[in-house]
Structure 1
Amino acid sequence: MEKLKMHSPNLTQDNIARIRDLFPGCVTEAKGEDGSVRLAVDFDQLRQELAESIVEGPQERYHLNWPGKREALLTANAPIAKTLRPCREESVDFDTTKNLFIEGDNLDALKLLQETYLGKIKMIYIDPPYNTGNDFIYEDDFAENSEEFLRKSNQVDEKGNRLVANKDSNGRFHSDWLSMMYPRIKLAKNLLSEDGVLFLTLDDTEVANMRRIGDEIFGESNFLANVVWQKKYAVANDDPGIGVMHDHVLVYRKSEAFVRGLLPRKAEQNARYTNPDNDPRGEWASDNYVSNKSKDERPTLWYSITHPRTGEEVWPEEHAVWRYSKEKHLEIEREGRLFWGPNQSYKKPRLKRYLKEVQQGIVPPTWWTFEECGHNDEAQKETAALLGQKVFSTPKPIRLIERMIAIAGAKDGIILDFFAGSGSTAHATLKANAQDGGVRQYIAIQLPEPLSEENNTQKSAAIFCKQIGVESNIAELTKERLRRAGKEILEKSPNENWSKDVGFRVLKVETSNMADVYYAPDALDKAKFDLFVDNIKPDRTPEDLLFQVMLDWGVDLALPITKQSIQGKDVFFVDGNVLAACFDASGSIDEAFVKELAKQQPLRVVFRDAGYKNSAVKINVEQIFKLLSPATEVKCI
């Protein structure tokens, strides 16, 4: 139901609307004095529409621009002082799993992953919020001066909420959506491996703009396809316009190194291959032996073949030739691959093509039907069957993402979804591994977007969260779906030859573990100096510090972690000797402990600055490692 305006008419906007009716290309979007985005007239373009010759104006060039693009670029490049905190109690198989579930703003998460996963992601699939005029989008506010930037980079946000609605009062502007997507796609490209690929689903509203963004970030030459997925099987009877039956799937590769995979052959394609003559080479199908080239074009392919039953000379048609040269034909004949029909009744031969020789897969098309890839209703039923009720409004079917995984063409890569939503990408990854024995890993990123029982579309989801005793937000729903999906796959998978890794390690985007004064020492009040002796926030655990060190050092966040006691002090070891970390802050780390740790010969080692017994120990640490483990890189926090 529309609301009354409760104010006098905006005559300027009414006039702009009239101009848009006459000259749609002359109306664009621009920021007003209050910073809000409004419809505005491109007067240079309007003058050209009304002129009979070229009018003077800005230099023409081909590009996509919108209010806020420069800010979006700055947002992508600006550093943040945040970290990822592990949450064991919400994880599944925390110590052994290779999968990650990151809870928080995906822009922050993408920035935090830049060093660790730079060039390591094989496939990215995202299903971002569509620009419907009331969907939630992310507000990427950033600082315009050093003081404000410092405050916001430490997530001290006066608004207290980075999630805002692209409200109807905004007029369904493209600019807000583009500013949200641009920095995320830019950061995502960095994470893709050279042979990596991005899949992105969206509707007609922004597909043209997304193509322009994709071409700008990836390059036009790396655009692979605009796939049309048939997401519905019937048109709604109450649709006032033309019934929308599809979504788009844009596909971009990182570089020419990408090699697309093939889709599985269908049973009906293989059914035409039989073995009526018990050929030891297996099933075969006959193929045409004649080419439509003329003998004038290919004179060497115009020759006679002796019929094995009649002994007569057999020639191609007058305007045709054989497909193979005389030499190749004799080879085919010796191999027994000529087929003259049952009882040699054909007038011309055909070629035996064996099933084992044909391409073991089919080339992906750009038209994906719901029979092959599923539809919205199927996706609803998949999640409802797992959770016992409908809770997700627009999940994607697993079969849709399984097709993308097949095209990505790898059984051992990392698959990233930074708009995880219902968790379909992670679910599809686990299912694909169970089917073909792959060891793919997933990274799912989801904002804990609150759910409300007052919202009709969110009511069932909010109630479900209450029933299972978790906070009412989408991230909690996603985690629960993945827990249940993992159990179901383990129970139902007939294949025993796979890793059976259905767990996930939960990491949450948080403010840095370092005290605020660590980033702004000039803000230290000397009168309170004693309060800032420790540079670590008091609520942070050694494992929190470990993950921030792993991020800073670019160490894979999914590597196994063990904890050992050396001389009464806890030491974390990441994947054996990749990283050793001791965050003891008691001031008892002495040379004897350091020598004992150095015998482990870790590649990297980190200590807490407050842990050293005295300055002499701190000075001698590097010398001890140079003597006992010269390859070790030593740092402290």
Structure 2
Amino acid sequence: MVSKDKLDLSSPDLVNENFEKLAALFPNCVTESAEGKAIDFDLLKQELSHAVVEGNKERYRLEWPGKREAIVTANLPTTKTLRPVREDSVDFDNTENLYIEGDNLEVLKLLQESYLGKIKMIYIDPPYNTGRDFVYKDNFKIESDKELIDSGQVDEYNQRLVANPDTAGRYHSDWLTMMFPRLKLARNLLRKDGVLFISIGQDEVSNLVQLVDNVFGEVNRISVVGRLAKSGGNKGKFFSPNIEYVIAVARNYDDASGFRDEMDPELIKKVYTKTQKDGDRKGEKYRAMGLYQSSLDPMRGCVNQRYFVEAPDGTLVIPPGNIFPSEKKDGSKIAPQTQKDGVWRWTYPKYLEEKEKGNVEFAETNKGVLVDSDGNPSKWNVNTKIWLKDRQDAGQLPNDLITKYENRHSAKELKAIDIPFEFAKPTGLISYLAKICNSESGDIILDFFSGSATTAHSILNLNSEDGEKRKFIMVQIPEILEGSEAYNAGFKEICTLGKERIRRAAKKIKEETNADIDYGFRVYRLDSSNMQDVYYKPQDYDQGNLDLFADNVKSDRTADDLLAQVMLDWGLPLSLKIEQVEVSGKKVFKVAENSLYACFDSGIDEDFAKAIAKDEPLRIVFKDSGFKNDTAKTNVKQLLKQLSPETEMKVI
């Protein structure tokens, strides 16, 4: 950039000057194209004409340069795999929590079969696109890792992050192109009652709402919730930016359970002021609510709700009105005729049922809201008991402005476990979202922009508090933290920091609560396939070349690596319990007891088949090169069919 005090020594850029003039006059005509910022000439023609100008056919939808490329990117298959990293894991064989290092687009593709329709809640905190963020630069046309490095799209850590300054010609478009395929794949993973929460700032909230509607359907959007990110401050020109947003969307709106929050303690103190003195609920708090409420519309299906109720002194009471039942006795009813004919909240059978339970009380009053059988003001009021415990069990609807969990809380949490990191969300926010969407034991919480692993920390906290056994899956690209406090403290990239945070948080929670929960996590790392290229494209090799590949498996891959790829290919969750046993002198992996047996040793023969058949595994897999010879391979297959007919055998 030429400094202000330096001569430009070039002629004026008239095209750019004209563009800026038009943009100032007609800002609505500025758009983004494949080449950068541009003027929408159809709109410009319309601005300069009193008649309708025929241009591209108008339609209501979100468009941007790169949308078709994003669709292709989402749909392209991948041959990559996840390799276990036992040395970074905690209780690898038994834990059901996962931490996955790698580009989240590739990881989401790999999880499609194993976790299709199995995730209860997804929370993500993607780049806000403030002009200082990095975005994933996906290029569906390039497959070779070497080509990616050569083109500068990734570094030696396989990162695809590039700067996206707000001066870029495709500033919004590149961000949308990044988000679209990830949301599309994430939707597939949600259960029917699953919910996605996305934290976002002001810069892209409007675009993200449209994008979410595009992927999930507008009918499945739950809400756009405001969140108090910080209090005070004096930045900005017009308002101090203290609010962020959480977009909530359901996989299927009708299947998602309604949100419920804990009751506000201040509301409890203010409203639930009475204590039951006798009966089955002695000592419990309740509030009295009139059986008659003037806000009820008597003309909306309340034909059976205007009737006499007998008071303790034998008199009859009824809501005010112009007509009364002809028979003067308890329960005698008449249908309301006008808006002035008040009705009770309950039908008479419901009233008798609740009265029998002790949920109806009469109170003397001088207000005379109800009337007697002659239409005169009555000294009685009829109240129903709203029990505090019942309301607490049911919970209350959460507000669409979240004020409890400011960002400053995260600094204290990280300081408590000596993790140097800025801009993390507070754990309370994610715990809160997991609670209000009614997550419980067995539910899986996914975060594929996991950052410092706040979501994992949150789920550990929440499980320790309520005793539930939720599981988490964290996905994060190993972004370099150069120049940060974390980098200087020894955390060169964010995955190292995230894993250490989970370890320290788990240790602290266990020491403080001793809760019986899963404190471990399995680490997997995205990598190229375990298989040689010939495995996928044998047609590209002649017989002479094929002889060079006696083993389809790459030489640097372990049995653990192969097991992970087999589990993904067979659609088995990576969190299933894994045991290692010895059968006839060979190492065998048992996944979820007998769901899958895997043996990648050499010398597989008939004796091994007979031994393994006794356990009747549902599935079993071997290396194609692992059989003693071709005859043994055929015999093993036949023996398994005879001795364990339900076993499905495959080779790699």
TM norm structure 1: 0.88
Between stretches 426-435 and 3-12, larger displacement belongs to 3-12
Task: Output one character per residue of 1:275-311: Cα deviation in whole Å (capped at 9) or x when no partner.
Answer: 15344323321112323268899786556655536x6
Instruction: Decide which of 115, 118, 124 is 2:116's aligned counterpart.
Output: 118
Spell out the pairing of 1:287-326 with structure 2 (5 A cutoff). Answer: 287-292=289-294, 307-308=311-312, 314=317, 316-317=319-320, 319=340, 321-323=342-344, 324-325=346-347
Q: Offset of 1:525 from its aligned partner?
A: 7.8
Say if 1:308 and 1:344, in contact at 8 Å, map to a contact too: no
The alignment yields a C-alpha RMSD, in angstroms, of: 2.8
Q: Distance in 2 between matches of 1:361 and 1:300?
A: 28
In the superposition, relative to structure 1, how do residues 313 and 592 fare at CA in structure 2: closer, same or farther (>3 Å)? closer
Q: Which amino acid aligns with 1:491?
A: E
Say if 1:416 and 1:443, in contact at 8 Å, map to a contact too: yes
Is 1:19 matched with 2:22? yes
Q: Which amino acid aligns with 2:455?
A: T
Counterpart for residue 590 of structure 2: 573
Between stretches 333-342 and 108-117, larger displacement belongs to 333-342
Spell out the pairing of 1:212-611 with structure 2 (5 A cutoff). Answer: 212-234=210-232, 236-255=233-252, 256-271=254-269, 272-273=271-272, 274-275=274-275, 277-281=277-281, 282-292=284-294, 307-308=311-312, 314=317, 316-317=319-320, 319=340, 321-323=342-344, 324-325=346-347, 329=351, 336-341=358-363, 347-358=380-391, 360-371=393-404, 374-387=405-418, 391-411=420-440, 412-453=442-483, 459-464=484-489, 466=490, 472-493=492-513, 496=515, 498=516, 500-521=517-538, 524=541, 531-585=548-602, 588-611=603-626
Say if 1:379 and 1:397, in contact at 8 Å, map to a contact too: yes
Between stretches 355-364 and 90-99, larger displacement belongs to 355-364
Q: Which amino acid aligns with 1:510?
A: D
Q: Offset of 1:360 from its aligned partner?
A: 2.3
For the residue of structure 2 that corresponds to 1:478, the secondary structure is helix
Counterpart for residue 35 of structure 1: none
In the superposition, relative to structure 1, how do residues 71 and 258 fare at CA in structure 2: closer, same or farther (>3 Å)? same
Q: Distance in 1 between matches of 2:470 and 2:99?
A: 15
For the residue of structure 2 that corresponds to 1:348, the secondary structure is strand
In the superposition, relative to structure 1, how do residues 337 and 7 fare at CA in structure 2: closer, same or farther (>3 Å)? farther
Task: Output one character per residue of 1:503-560: Cα deviation in whole Å (capped at 9) or x when no partner.
Answer: 1000000011112333344554877665433221111111111111111111111111
For the residue of structure 1 that corresponds to 2:594, the secondary structure is coil
Say if 1:120 and 1:192, in contact at 8 Å, map to a contact too: yes
Say if 2:481 and 2:492, in contact at 8 Å, map to a contact too: yes
Q: Distance in 2 between matches of 1:577 and 1:70?
A: 44
Say if 1:419 and 1:445, in contact at 8 Å, map to a contact too: yes
How many residues end up aligned between the 2 structures? 606
Q: Distance in 1 between matches of 2:347 and 2:588?
A: 73
For the residue of structure 1 that corresponds to 2:637, the secondary structure is helix
Q: Offset of 1:486 from its aligned partner?
A: 0.7
Q: Which amino acid aligns with 2:113?
A: E
Q: Offset of 1:573 from its aligned partner?
A: 1.2
Counterpart for residue 79 of structure 1: 77
In the superposition, relative to structure 1, how do residues 362 and 157 fare at CA in structure 2: closer, same or farther (>3 Å)? farther
Say if 1:590 and 1:617, in contact at 8 Å, map to a contact too: yes
Counterpart for residue 93 of structure 1: 91
Task: Output one character per residue of 1:46-100: Cα deviation in whole Å (capped at 9) or x when no partner.
Answer: 1111111111211111111111111111000111111100001101111110000
Say if 2:618 and 2:646, in contact at 8 Å, map to a contact too: yes
Say if 1:90 and 1:506, in contact at 8 Å, map to a contact too: yes
Say if 2:34 and 2:170, in contact at 8 Å, map to a contact too: no
Q: Distance in 2 between matches of 1:72 and 1:607?
A: 37
For the residue of structure 1 that corresponds to 2:138, the secondary structure is coil
Q: Offset of 1:436 from its aligned partner?
A: 1.5
Task: Output one character per residue of 1:587-621: Cα deviation in whole Å (capped at 9) or x when no partner.
Answer: x2221112212222111111111111111111222
In the superposition, relative to structure 1, how do residues 482 and 296 fare at CA in structure 2: closer, same or farther (>3 Å)? closer
Q: Offset of 1:119 from its aligned partner?
A: 0.8
Between stretches 158-167 and 110-119, larger displacement belongs to 158-167
Q: Distance in 2 between matches of 1:336 and 1:451?
A: 64
Counterpart for residue 325 of structure 2: none
In the superposition, relative to structure 1, how do residues 301 and 259 fare at CA in structure 2: closer, same or farther (>3 Å)? closer
Q: Distance in 2 between matches of 1:419 and 1:7?
A: 46
Q: Which amino acid aligns with 2:34?
A: K
Say if 1:182 and 1:213, in contact at 8 Å, map to a contact too: yes
Q: Distance in 1 between matches of 2:357 and 2:137?
A: 69
Say if 1:154 and 1:516, in contact at 8 Å, map to a contact too: no
For the residue of structure 2 that corresponds to 1:15, the secondary structure is helix
For the residue of structure 1 that corresponds to 2:257, the secondary structure is coil
Say if 2:605 and 2:636, in contact at 8 Å, map to a contact too: no
Between stretches 574-583 and 347-356, larger displacement belongs to 347-356
**Which one has a larger percent helix, Structure 1 or Structure 2?**
1
Counterpart for residue 135 of structure 1: 133
Between stretches 177-186 and 598-607, larger displacement belongs to 598-607
Q: Which amino acid aligns with 1:192?
A: L
Q: Distance in 2 between matches of 1:238 and 1:155?
A: 40
Counterpart for residue 188 of structure 1: 186
In the superposition, relative to structure 1, how do residues 156 and 603 fare at CA in structure 2: closer, same or farther (>3 Å)? farther
Q: Offset of 1:2 from its aligned partner?
A: 10
Q: Which amino acid aligns with 1:408?
A: C
Task: Output one character per residue of 1:171-206: Cα deviation in whole Å (capped at 9) or x when no partner.
Answer: 571000000000000000111111111111101221
Q: Offset of 1:208 from its aligned partner?
A: 1.5
Q: Which amino acid aligns with 2:618?
A: L
TM norm structure 2: 0.86
